[in-house]
Amino acid sequence: MRLRADAGTCAGAGQCARVAPDLFDQDGDGLVVLLRAEARGPARERALLTADLCPSGALRVHGSA
- Contact residues toward ligand SF4 (CB under 6 A) are 5, 10-16, 24, 26, 32, 54-56, 58-59
Please check whether residue 17 is in contact with residue 54, taking contact to mean a CB–CB distance below 8 angstroms.
no
Nearest distance from residue 9's CB to ligand SF4, in Å?
8
Nearer to ligand SF4, 33 or 44 (CB): 33
Say how many C-beta atoms besides its own lie within 10 A of residue 38's C-beta: 13
Nearest distance from residue 28's CB to ligand SF4, in Å?
13
Nearest to 56 by CA among 3, 1, 2, 12: 12
